[in-house]
Amino acid sequence: MALLEVKELGISFGGLRAVDDFHMTIEQGQLYGLIGPNGAGKTTVFNLLTGVYKPTDGYILLDGENITGKKTIEINQHGIARTFQNIRLFDELTVLDNVKVGLHNHYSYSTLTGILRLPKYYKIEKEMDARAMELLKVFDLDQEADYKASNLPYGKQRKLEIARALATEPKLLLLDEPAAGMNPHETQELMKTIRFVRDEFHMTILLIEHDMKLVSGICEELTVLNFGQILTEGETSTVLNDPKVITAYLGE
Amino acid sequence: MRQMNIKALNKTTKSNIVTYGIVILAYLIMEILMRAGVVSSLLQGLLVPLCTYVILAVSLNLTVGISGELSLGHAGFMCVGAFSSAFFSKCMQEVIPVSGIRFFLAILIGAAFAALFGVVVGIPVLRLRGDYLAIVTLAFGEIIKNVVNVIFLGKDSRGFHISMKDAFSMGLEPEGEVIINGPQGITGTPNDSNFLVGIILILITLFIVINLVNSRTGRAIMAIRDNRIAAESVGIHITKYKLLAFTISASLAGVAGVLYAHNLSTLAAQSKNFGYNMSIMILVFVVLGGIGNIRGSIIAAVVLTLLPELLRSLNDYRMLMYAIVLIATMIFTSSPGGQAFRERYSLKRLIGQRKETKEAE
């Protein structure tokens, strides 16, 4: 059974049909790409998958469970985590605390335990610290654990966002333009990181990207969106050589 | 690396211990000065209100600094705490003669009622953000104060009577007693609070706020403040944590109200003690002390309460000077020039440099 199955998904904003008859099947462990020209509706699809928007039609199955129309929080608890096109970190918190917020639902003690500093507080906080440091180490951020998140350089902020998303222990990770604003060197490094995350965490990853080098370098399958509809889909090399796709990107 | 982690932990713990230490030290100094008899009676009378303001400033900092919501209704929650607890103390004056126990219960009741109002006000109001939230909380604060002003509550052998019109329409028996007398408020509240109690309450408030901030709940609250959408995407329940912060903040303001009420023989809801003037004054403490900076709001509350008294000798120019001091502080703490100056001449850096040179030797 596929990890993510999307059928006939659609949303209208008033008279505008932003996404229409969208479908997608992603297998466990796949690295899947969603591409398309600006305004094609890629981020809208992400927002539908994560419950930011409620779809007007269709359904979304995650691991066989119907998550259509659920709230963002519930969908996260079902196992979808995401990063954002414009980085959204908790700027005033430390790098470590950013990841610890991601761990929020997996390590729990009550507010009163926290205020009264009962033994459970120390025990769980220690576990959280250890787990968060482990994740930071994977992304080579452990030296900056005490920095304020906003003081990190751009590339590291992107990495921290991925680390935070992984802290919620998702089944499916959505990356919205992870290479946006990165230089070629940083992009190279990011590709390595994404591949590493997939192999190390056995993660299934769906990403939106404009950087074709990155897409062709790591994605196994692609879906191309144009004007809210699927233009074509299939294996990366076939799709990228499809004249329809080239026309959509470059024009006639 | 593990070590670095421990160091970071120690840094916050250390700074918290300093905060507690400042409060205790201030108490000891005042106590010694009072024993020595150098403190004027005017200043002595100011000590309990000072504690009230510090608690209010710390609790509002939880809403404004930690939760990031601009609330201008804090005096309203203080009002709820003050009246509910004063009512309780007055009724129980004969039943519980030990003032310590009575006051302890009064604090719990004041905190509980203020928390209840926090929830009731918070549920509709926290849907708003920014200026809109400020406007609505301001209105709620005024509503609470004005409603308290028209409550008449009396007790006789048949039980409690309540009216929103006047004292006569309650239909009390001749030997009945009016407890809350509308705009005249509650008279004869037992005088249970003193400076020591105030300091203890400050320490408890600090304990609650500081520990909350450095816990899982506090992280969630600050995450929502920093980025609501991202917080939601990692599974943080926005409404729950915002409401929680608002309620705890309201309940602590209620405790400040209890302290305030039990320091006065007559408690009446006027615009100068429970109106928006008060709410804005608390906000000034928080802003001037640094939004989110708990130690700062304590210091700001103390300085800004004492300043008008210290400037009393300037007579007519008093408020003028007050404004100048406020502006100067803001420039010093927030302007780029002021920050550069502070960085260059900060105590920490001067000490650090000395250490470095020592190490180099």
Question: Are the beta carbons of A76 and B234 separated by less than 8 Å?
Answer: yes
Nearest-CB residue to A88 (from B229, B235, B236): B229
Q: Predicted confidence band at B5 (pLDDT cuts at 50, 70, 90)?
A: low
pLDDT tens-digit series, residues B193-241: 889 999 999 999 999 999 999 999 999 999 999 999 999 999 999 999 9
More confident residue, B3 or B274: B274
Neighbours of B188 (CB within 10 A): 14
A61 CB within 8 Å of a chain B CB: no
Tokens of A226: 């144009």
Nearest to A38 by CA among A226, A235, A243, A206: A226
- Our CA-based measurement puts residue A91 at a distance from the nearest CA of chain B, in whole angstroms, of 6
Mean pLDDT of B254-271: 91
More confident residue, B312 or B19: B19
Q: Decide: residue B287, CB within 10 A, 0-12 exposed, 13-18 middle, 19+ buried.
A: buried
**What CA–CA distance (Å, rounded) separates B240 from A59?**
29
Residues above pLDDT 70, as percent of chain B: 93
Residues 176-235 of chain A with CB under 8 A from chain B are: none
For B152, phi then psi, to 5°, come to: -115, 125
CA angle, residues B221, B227, B232, in degrees to nearest 5: 75
The gap between the terminal CA atoms of chain A, to the nearest Å, is 40
Neighbours of A30 (CB within 10 A): 20
Choose from A86, A115, A125 for mutation: most chain B CBs within 10 A. A115
Mean pLDDT of B107-120: 96
Contacting residues of B for A93, CB less than 8 Å apart: 219, 222-223, 226
Nearest-CB residue to B234 (from A117, A146, A164): A164
Parse chain B into domains and list their residue ranges.
Answer: 23-37+46-149+185-273
B111 CB within 8 Å of a chain A CB: no
> What is the bridge-based pairing of β-strands B177-181 and B152-156?
antiparallel
Residue-level pLDDT at B356 = 55
B3 CB within 8 Å of a chain A CB: no
**Over 80: is that where the pLDDT of A251 sits?**
no
Residue-level pLDDT at B121 = 93
pTM: 0.89
pLDDT tens-digit series, residues B148-183: 999 898 888 888 888 888 877 777 877 788 888 888
- Our CA-based measurement puts residue B345 at a distance from the nearest CA of chain A, in whole angstroms, of 23
Q: Predicted confidence band at B11 (pLDDT cuts at 50, 70, 90)?
A: confident
Contacting residues of A for B207, CB less than 8 Å apart: 115
pLDDT tens-digit series, residues B330-359: 787 777 777 777 777 766 666 666 555 555
For A59, phi then psi, to 5°, come to: -145, 160
Mean pLDDT of B243-255: 97
Question: Are the beta carbons of A105 and B235 separated by less than 8 Å?
Answer: yes
Mean pLDDT of B247-268: 94
**What CA–CA distance (Å, rounded) separates B237 from B241?**
6
Residues 83-142 of chain A with CB under 8 A from chain B are: 84, 88-94, 96-97, 100-102, 104-105, 107-109, 111, 113-117, 121, 124-125, 128-129, 133, 142
A151 CB within 8 Å of a chain B CB: no
Q: Which residue of B has its CA nearest to A97?
A: B219
Half-sphere exposure of B187 (CA within 13 A, CB side): 6
The answer to whether B102 and B323 have CB atoms below 8 angstroms apart is no
Q: Predicted confidence band at A50 (pLDDT cuts at 50, 70, 90)?
A: very high
CA distances from B89 to B56, B129, B144, B327 (A): 21, 37, 21, 42
Cα dihedral sign for B233, B237, B238, B242? negative
**Over 50: is that where the pLDDT of A198 sits?**
yes
